[in-house]
Amino acid sequence: MVNLDIVSPDLQPDRNLAMELVRATEAAAIRAMPFIGHGDKNAADGAAVDAMRQFLSTVNFSGVVVIGEGEKDDAPWLYNGEEVGNGRGPACDVAVDPIDGTSLTAAGRQNALSVIAVADRGSMYDPSAVFYMDKLVCGPDGVGVVDIRQPIGENIRALAKAKGVSTSDIRVAVLDRPRHAQLIEEIREAGAGTRLMLDGDVAGGVNAARYESRIDLCVGIGGTPEGIITACAVKALGGVIQGTLAPRDDDERQKAIDAGHDLSAVLEANDLVKCDNTYFVATGVTQGEFVDGVQRRGPIIRTDSIVLRSKSGTLRRVRADYQASRWV
């Protein structure tokens, strides 16, 4: 339980917080490592959740999980509303995904990440009413150029023109789901190539926003919580994220309306995270495009992470070697 006597709501998360948070994603990735490729996604996720929660308890902040494990995975820890941190320091909203891509981890496929996003208290959008969102994410070249309300072909052509390339050079990441069959066809008809993702909604969005990525655009319906986490990264990278809520059925649609959501509204980065001091921390669980997966190398375990902070607009890479004997 957080001791409110030592919480300072006037404090903002500072740059030191990022290096504390990366310890938690590193720990989650290391604990998930024995389960990579062994087919048990629940065991991998459970190990990552336990490790992340343990390390978060030592961090100097007063965090409340607003996007957690409980809603999605029926997990007993890191649930929405759980207080994390040691209660000393700034008051924060916290979004966690100990493994974004549990199925990827279980199968030994690429692009599984351990992720934490943090922002000022009360600044993260509440995604509880609608679990899915139709999203569009790209890098700085797309600012003022792309618009989720336009047909995908128009966005591809506009982005190609802004980047000074042919439409055939544009690569669009999309979750490989039956609901996206028509979208995938339209992307290819526009002349662009697709990068179909089995899972890993966050990785796809961050790759689309990141400079020098082989992905130019990420589109389609994915998780609303993942969209908010991605927005924390996009704010640091200077890219574009837009989304519209996508209720699964009439019951969810009515719940969203009752909760006061405008289902026709286009949510942008400042709607999803209403502050300019966000953190996004990710450690590779399996091999990926922008971070390596966790690896055992003889007596050491090596992790590869990125740390993004919107206030300074920085991306830092963190590679750490741990003595494997201490993680037995």
Q: Is 284 annotated as a binding residue?
A: no
Is 97 annotated as contributing to ligand binding? Answer: yes
224 is in an annotated binding site: no
By DSSP bridging, strand 217-223 and strand 171-175 are parallel
Annotated binding residue at 121?
no
Helix count and strand count (H, E) for the chain: 10, 15
Would you say 271 is a known binding-site residue? no
User: Residue 326 has what DSSP assignment?
Assistant: G
State how far the Cα of 9 lies from the Cα of 15, in Å rounded to an integer. 17
Residue 304 annotated as lining a ligand binding site: no
101 is in an annotated binding site: yes
Report CA Rg, the chain. 19
Q: Is 102 assigned a ligand-binding role in the annotation?
A: yes
Q: Name the one residue in this structure whose structure tokens are 């006037």.
A: 10
Tell me whether residue 126 is annotated as binding.
Answer: no
Q: Which of 87, 106, 65, 88 is nearest to 225 (CA)?
A: 65
What is the token pair recorded at 79?
Answer: 């649930």
Whole-angstrom distance, CA of residue 207 vs CA of residue 280: 13
DSSP code at position 207: H
Q: Does residue 199 have a known ligand-binding role?
A: yes
Strand-pair category, 7-8 with 89-100? parallel
Of 89, 85, 87, 65, residue with least CA distance to 8:
89
Please identify which residue in the block is written with the tokens 């000393």. Answer: 88
Q: Residue 229: how many CA atoms within 13 Å on its side-chain side?
A: 30
- 284-223-99 Cα angle (round to 5): 25
Q: In angstroms, rounded to a whole number, what is the distance separating the alpha carbons of residues 160 and 176? A: 23
| Host H or E run for residue 158 | helix 152-163
Is 176 annotated in a binding site? The answer is no
Q: Which residue has the tokens 């649930």?
A: 79
Decide: residue 147, CB within 10 A, 0-12 exposed, 13-18 middle, 19+ buried: middle
DSSP state of 206: H
Instruction: Indicate the annotated binding residues for substrate.
Output: 100-102, 132, 177-179, 199-201, 223
Instruction: Indicate the annotated binding residues for Mn(2+).
Output: 45, 69, 97, 100, 226
Instruction: Indicate the annotated binding residues.
Output: 45, 69, 97, 100-102, 132, 177-179, 199-201, 223, 226
